[in-house]
Structure 1
Amino acid sequence: MKRLLALGLLSLALGTSVKAQVTERARPVEWEQLVPGARFMDRFLPMPDGVKGQAIWGADSVQNRYVDNGIELPDVSFWGGNILQTPDGKYHLYVCGWPEHSPKGHMFWGNSTIFHAVGDKLSGPYRVQNSIGKGHNPEAFRLADGRVVVYVIDGYYIADKEDSPVWMYQKFDFDARDRKIIEGLSNLTFARRPDGSYLMVCRGGGVWISRDGLSAYQQLTDKRVYPDVEGQFEDPVVWRDSLQYHLIVNDWLGRIAFYQRSKDGVHWVTEQGEAYMPGVSVHRDGEVEYWFKYERPKVFQDKEGRAVQMNFAVIDTLKWEDLPGDRHSSKNICIPLNKGLLLSVLNEEPVTPATKRIEVRIKAEAGFHPQTDVDVESLRFGSYNEVNFGRGCKPVKTRKDGDDLIVVFNGKGSGITSGEFAPKLIGRDVKGNLLYGYARLPYVDYAPALLSARRPIYDKQQNVWKVQVENFGLSASQPTEIEIYSTDKSLAKGEVAALAPYEKTELSLPSIEALATDTVACEVVIRSGEVELERVKFE
């Protein structure tokens, strides 16, 4: 209720015209029962203290902002952008922008320039050093060889280092692999995999993989991986930490974002609650920068891959009401995040409803001493479907192991199923601050094989189906079953032999019946036992 009230106050502050870009999405009733720490939004921390401007641009709702947070200039409208750090401790922000006095105001965004800005602190301020070329909605990432790629809509820039004076513009190649491209290829976001390959999610929610980040991106999915809810989705951001993949996608019309997790980047679970919404930019004294829209989220990760800061492109009014030379504009802001704990389950056997005790290691880190800092009685552990609602396992005892703390939980009510790959912990420290984290399970494969088929081709003369299967995963596959269906009728079946990562095979499967046509709408299912590894439709 407090969040919806904040939205109402913001709407009043900005005027009735906000309805043109706002649809108040109804939240599931169960979300009213979520506990602190359940929502990704609960991880946002107060912004570092900064300098407040006087007589600055912006609606009344953002006049209390820190002008030295992120990047802003009175004569430039900034948008998008993320940060890389170099060994000298400098932070490099790649952000796009255009003159605030442009003839079309904010709608001049199609003529954006990509700027390279540098800061001494992660939260800014960032100062423009140079421009690297035209483009919009940048996202920067490093290749395994250290080169830097700055993606922009329809292409990318590449250079040997972060502050290179010269950048080469090139275009990615995309192989849809006989699948329909979902809502086009724009607003791409990238996550580096452990072997140096890259997983990419496009605006429409399709998942693609490139062997090295530059070679052709190949599509694995045939439908979006976003939550199956009403929404106008865009602005995905994907990242991988030492345990799992994370994905946040924004419903720009509803101004609500959703948070998802995955162990392989293809199969996702959606956690309850808002990932973010207007009003997450809060000062230490409780004041709020009420930006009208928070878009283009990007994360800065620590050495474990955990998100420690989120950057947003923000604007103080409707985009098309930001006119040349007026009081409205946009900027990039930085908000720190609670990075979470490093956790691991010590049980060697899979956790089931019959498991009586679950042992969880809470790892000590610089500035965090779990043996003295954790309010053990506040901890709850188990499936996110339980813990997010205050349920789950309760602690029964603890023990020390070096600087780490081992917490033993009563296994009752964990909610952990065979499909669980990262059970969740929520609790508090002794000062009442949020503690949360996801635990590694020793029996889960976090680098699984990813078998994916291309469209089967029917050979009438031989009465066989020919189909190519490739392993896009990070480990070798086991022999698996493959079956081709049409309107729920089996057309062919066979076995896929073990494949090394990125290895492919051509199968020739005898057809169960002779067909009169070469082209048949069909569905391919790859399974291991009763577990479906891929199900894809070809029209």
Structure 2
Amino acid sequence: MGSGHNPELYRIKTGEYMIYSTHGRFYSSKSLDGLWKAGTYNFDKRQRYAFKNYVNFSFAPRSDGSFLAVSRRGYIWASKNGGEDWSEVSSESVYPKVAGIFEDPVMWKDDVQYHIIVNDWKGRIAYYLRSLDGFHWKTEPGEAYVPGLARYEDGTSSDWYKFERIRMLQDQYGRPTQAHFAVIDSDKHSDLPNDQHNSKHICIPLTVARLIEVLDADPITEKTDEIRVKINAEKGFDPHTDIDLDSLRFGASEEVNYGRGSKLITTEDGGEDLIVIFGGEDSGITADNFAGKLLGKTRAGKLLFGWARLPGKHSKVPLLSSLSPVFEFTGAGLEAYVEVQNFGEVVSKRSTVKVLVGNEGESRLLATRYVRALKPFEKSMVRLVCDESLRRGSKQNVTVLLESEGLPTESFTRQVTLPGNE
């Protein structure tokens, strides 16, 4: 079919298959049997940072047929249809602010949230991130995996030096059921021709998250008395008989991961499903949480967990993103023109555009104006008349703030050279 490196296969809304390759290339076909046609992505970095050759992308579909992707260095990209045209959205990397050389991310989406696991090549560990909308990410504490994770049920351990390039096999709900790794038993520089150190492909079965749902209609706060959670029955899993009920905790992952969280009060019959009721006072859930975590074990002593989207939290949101202003000196004074685009799945509300100048912590406001409601992937050019003038030809650190009701403020900063004397 053609050359490639660290490929990823995904299917777009039209039914066409796409195989991402490195250096911005892809292969497309209407059938997995081929014929495959080579092409080149149009990656528009939109004045943002992009790692050379556009390597190590991973892709996740959205419910409207559009796609998100994460790049090697942790920047989020969006596409209207998952085809050849992509736009960079992030102003900075979504990866954790820790030392490391990040590469080979895998991104996926289930019925509750988006997920990323990214490998630290130098540290030989990986990190796990979650997101409600695919744009704003939260890093879970600890490591997603480390060397030594491959163990058989009889206690045998496979002593691989490094695990990389993880990919997930998902079920119909988007839940990972298997993790696929590239592994090697030596460091990269010890892998020489005609030896036994070439990389291998291994598959590790995963504990599948249980399907759960928060039944409360109102947002959970510190004043919530009870939290009602439905645990769905599935083939091979009976919540009435398979769960160690005394082990269950529910709440913010920051709590239940450490043995805290809300404790079980009682249960109710939900037919084949089981309704479990937790006390609300110890859940640890705040306005910053978008998913609650159920954690416990089965009666056989195996891990049991699940995620549920919290009441009032929506994954389909607008996401406004701007380019840096283009300045112009006119008879009205200094004017700024800002391109704003909506990369979300729903129509945005009328929002505020602010242009500031100066370094962080010392910036001052130049202009404010509204941007009209925008459909998904629609653009608008906003004209702002600045309250003060800046020296012609000067270089300025300029920040654009996009403020939308009920959503995080989006910020983009870039150095701009103003027009000189004509």
Decide which structure has greater strand share.
2
Q: Which amino acid aligns with 2:357?
A: S
Residue 398 of structure 2, aligned match among 522, 526, 534: 522
Counterpart position of 2:408: 532
Q: In the TM superposition, what whole-angstrom CA distance separates every residue of 1:301-331 from its partner, at most 9, and x where no partner exists?
A: 1000011111111112122222222222112
Q: Secondary structure at the match of 1:505?
A: strand
**Counterpart position of 1:475:** 346
After the TM superposition, which residues 261-276 of structure 1 pair with which residues of structure 2 at under 5 Å, given as runs?
261-276=130-145
Contact 1:182 1:206 in 2 (8 A): no
Aligned letter for 1:360? V
Matched, 1:490 2:365: yes
For residues 66-88 of structure 1, the C-alpha deviation after alignment (integer angstroms, 9 at most, x for no partner) is xxxxxxxxxxxxxxxxxxxxxxx
Q: Cα RMSD over matched residues?
A: 1.5
Q: Is the 8 A contact 1:184 1:203 kept in 2?
A: no
Residues 1:509 and 2:379 are matched in the alignment: no
Structure 1 length normalisation: TM-score?
A: 0.73
Report what 1:44 is aligned to.
none
Give me the whole-angstrom Cα distance separating, in 1, the residues matched to 2:32 and 2:158: 31
Structure 2 match to 1:465: 336
Q: How does 1:317-356 map to 2 (within 5 A)?
A: 317-356=186-225
Higher relative contact order (CA 8 A, sep 6+): 1
Aligned equivalents of 1:508 and 1:150: distance in 2? Answer: 41
Question: Using the alignment, how far apart are the partners of 1:499 and 1:433 within structure 2?
Answer: 48
The whole-number CA distance in structure 1 between the counterparts of 2:12 and 2:405 is 37
Aligned to 1:214: 83
Give how far 1:530 is off.
7.4
Q: Hey, what's the Cα distance between the residues in 2 that align with 1:384 and 1:183?
A: 36
The Cα offsets for residues 101-150 of structure 1, whole Å up to 9 and x where unpaired, read as xxxxxxxxxxxxxxxxxxxxxxxxxxxxxxx2211111111112222111
Identity of aligned residues (%): 43
Deviation at 1:523, TM superposition (A): 0.9
Q: What does 1:118-137 correspond to in 2, within 5 Å?
A: 132-137=1-6
1:168 aligns with 2:37: yes
Letter in 2 for 1:468: E
1:191 to 32, 54, 60: 60
Aligned to 1:45: none
CA deviations 1:164-214 (Å, max 9, x no partner) are: 2x3211110111112222465211111111112111111111110111111
What's the CA shift string for 1:437-492, capped at 9, x where partnerless? 11122311111111111111112114221111111111111222221111211111
Quote the Cα distance in structure 2 between the aligned partners of 1:247 and 1:163.
30
Superposed displacement of residue 529, structure 1: 4.6
Match of 2:419 in 1: none
- Size of the alignment, in residue pairs? 407
Structure 1 residues 382-397: aligned runs within 5 Å: 382-397=251-266
- In terms of fraction of residues, the more helix-rich structure is 1
Matched residue SS, 2:163: strand
Residue type of the partner of 1:161? Answer: S
After superposition, residues 72-471 of structure 1 pair within 5 angstroms as 132-154=1-23, 155-164=25-34, 166-182=35-51, 185-461=54-330, 462=332, 463-471=334-342
Which amino acid is the alignment partner of residue 359 of structure 1? R
